[in-house]
Structure 1
Amino acid sequence: MKQKLLVFLVLFSVIKSYGQTTRYIYETSVNPDSINLVTMKTERTFLDVKANRSLFISENKLIQDSLFASFKPEENRKKEEKDLSKSEKIKRPEATFFEYFITKEIPEQKVYYHDKVGIKQIYYQEDRPIQWEITSDTGKQNGYLAQKAVANFGGRVWTAWFTKDITISDGPYKFSGLPGLIVKLEDDKGDYRFDLVTKMILQNAFEEPISADAKQSTRINFNGDKAALKLEFSKNRKNMAGNGDGMQNFRGGGRRGGGMNGSGMPGGMSGMQGGMGHHGGMDEGIQQMPSMNSNGNSSPIMSTAPQNPIELK
């Protein structure tokens, strides 16, 4: 009897932990000017880890996406808003330096970059493994005993401090592959810095569906494929203005669902919230997102994305 009870408790613990999301919250500082060092702008970014997958997304994009998803039955919306923030009300979305999100399959060290044109999703798998040089330097970083590592990536030299106290081979943005969680990350140009400030446990994290018809691209072809989608979207908007059918054509009857879908696209943690100049920067220009007016109706607001890409090549 005791043995059966022990087995039950172990299974219950596994099921419970599998359903949990651990959110690592980073204070992220960005220099918005690619030429001059001006006042750094800050926003929070999230690294959501669940089972063997993770999602990197900015808090502002998470709020933006939750507003888009708010056109749902009241019960579902209240549940999602509760998990989005336990201590804060849903606020008006602000401009973000990260108008995309990144998912990882942690054990396999597979990294996927996800973006969107209109309602059409596009993604690619990162094809450049990060080559870390782990040094012997150690020290206290953001409350953790950490070790220093250095890597060249995207035209910048990155310094990471990772802790073996958190045995997750992951970190913000596309960075992973170290024997512990990255608790501090910065580039040599002083444009980007990620500092782990806290973590929280979510039982039912907000989920953003991944379209089964999302376009799969490559890092090299991504900008060209995205430009083609923008052209297609522009044409369909004109058609929609003329006869109301354009959006239906652009949508392509896409199915919505999380996780691995029929197209083989890794939905992964994109549900848990959460471009690039050269395959991952921030040159999207004007982004449109909904806001709630005093009558509770949705109306679009515009935000200008920053112009300093995180990857320079």
Structure 2
Amino acid sequence: MKNIFLLIFLVVINNPLCSQFVMSKSTSDRIEGKLKKEILDKASLRCWYEFTQYCLNEGVKEQVVDTFTLDIGPKYSVYYDQNRIMRDSLDRAEGEKLRPRVKLIRQHMTKGEIDALRGQGDGNYRELLSKGETAVLYKDRKRQKATIIDGSITEMYKCMDEIPLQSWELKEDTMTILGYVSQKAETTFRGRRYVAWFTPDIPLQDGPWKLYGLPGLILKVVVDDGLFIFQAIGLQKLDSFPITMNKDQYVTTDRKQIRKLAFKKNNKRHFLGTDGTFSMSFEADKRIFDELERE
């Protein structure tokens, strides 16, 4: 049953049985993975980063670790959660198998119903917390712009962000990362202090997230004495791998609103499915994350 229940929600709410939801062709193509794609560039290198940050969960400090992928081309790069995309693809396929079995949908369970289900060991009941970053960040180094794409099953958002080249101060310190001698550099970006290590042996002026502009690939970044850490954990040469963006009906927004959207989506989801009858409800994520960008 695993994450199938998550996709039941993604597919079922768009099922014709739900008369209150009108599905556009764009939404249908998005669900089925049939949107046309625009090729922005072709990547020659892929770098995986482990991203560590902290949050408060009902007053308790917790460490959260995610893995991100950076595909780098001559002009563009794309930064995304590859594991999340792979899970979504698998869930989509499983959801298509389940669609014919859906007979009835209840869109909300009451708190009392949820509490009653907890602890019963019912194999048809699942609590799932959305995991992984859904936003995809495209970096146009030449034009010094970033495009962030994120959204929900019903609507996708596009944020255009000006990211002028960071002013880096090079240091003499070095460390070895993934076998590459890496030089230290420091900068301030949108209210935080960044300490980075880059390797001139990989002459690609890119790095994780919105960071770029050093004379070599950035392999590690420590933000504000360890509050956030980007650490390269793997490299792979690519043979002209296409960097693509979906041709979707995007709603234009700004970077503050798109971050609020991301936090809203990290809700706990409750699913109960038996004999073609599915019930679902949501519980707000109580974790409090600090923002990378203060300005």
2:144·2:163 contact (CA, 8 Å) conserved in 1? no
1:21·1:49 contact (CA, 8 Å) conserved in 2? yes
CA distance in 2, matches of 1:126, 1:299: 39
CA distance in 1, matches of 2:138, 2:131: 18
Higher relative contact order by CA 8 Å / sep ≥ 6: 1 or 2? 2
Give the AA of the match of 1:126.
Answer: D
Q: Which residue of 1 aligns with 2:164?
A: 129
The offset of 1:305, in angstroms, is 8.6
Q: Which residue of 2 aligns with 1:190?
A: 226
Q: Which residue of 1 aligns with 2:11?
A: none
2:146·2:210 contact (CA, 8 Å) conserved in 1? yes
Q: Which residue of 1 aligns with 2:185?
A: 149
Match of residue 276, structure 1, among 259, 267, 272: 259
1:283·1:305 contact (CA, 8 Å) conserved in 2? no
Distance 1:178 1:19, change over 3 A: closer
CA distance in 2, matches of 1:99, 1:307: 18
Q: Confirm or deny that 1:63 pairs with 2:98.
A: no
Distance 1:285 1:182, change over 3 A: same
The structure with the largest helix share of the pair is 1
The offset of 1:71, in angstroms, is 7.2
TM-score, normalised relative to structure 1? 0.56
Q: Confirm or deny that 1:23 pairs with 2:59.
A: no
- 1:1-313 pair list within 5 angstroms: 22-33=45-56, 38-67=61-90, 70=93, 95-96=130-131, 98-142=133-177, 143-201=179-237, 210-219=246-255, 223=257, 275-277=258-260, 283-287=263-267, 304=285, 307-308=288-289, 309-313=291-295
The offset of 1:136, in angstroms, is 2.6
Aligned residues: 219
Give the AA of the match of 2:84.
Answer: K
Give the AA of the match of 2:293.
Answer: E
2:197·2:220 contact (CA, 8 Å) conserved in 1? yes
The offset of 1:185, in angstroms, is 0.7
CA distance in 1, matches of 2:74, 2:88: 23
Q: Deviations over 1:167-209 (max 9, x none)?
A: 1111111111222111001111522101111112456969876
Q: Deviations over 1:55-101 (max 9, x none)?
A: 11124422343235547999xxxxxxxxxxxxxxxxxx974463312
Aligned partner of residue 38 in structure 1, secondary structure = strand
Q: Percent identity?
A: 22
Structure 1: runs of 5+ lacking an equivalent: 1-17, 75-92, 224-274
The offset of 1:138, in angstroms, is 2.9
Structure 2: runs of 5+ lacking an equivalent: 1-40, 98-127
The structure with the largest strand share of the pair is 2
The offset of 1:39, in angstroms, is 4.3
The offset of 1:19, in angstroms, is 5.7
CA distance in 1, matches of 2:133, 2:80: 7
The offset of 1:120, in angstroms, is 1.6
Q: Deviations over 1:242-281 (max 9, x none)?
A: xxxxxxxxxxxxxxxxxxxxxxxxxxxxxxxxx525xx9x
Aligned partner of residue 276 in structure 1, secondary structure = helix
CA distance in 1, matches of 2:159, 2:135: 12
CA distance in 2, matches of 1:199, 1:301: 40
CA distance in 1, matches of 2:249, 2:264: 22
Q: Which has the higher Rg, Structure 1 or Structure 2?
A: 2
Distance 1:30 1:60, change over 3 A: farther
The offset of 1:311, in angstroms, is 2.1
Distance 1:36 1:208, change over 3 A: farther
TM-score, normalised relative to structure 2? 0.59
1:123·1:215 contact (CA, 8 Å) conserved in 2? yes
Aligned partner of residue 166 in structure 1, secondary structure = coil
The offset of 1:130, in angstroms, is 4.5
1:285·1:306 contact (CA, 8 Å) conserved in 2? no
Distance 1:62 1:149, change over 3 A: same
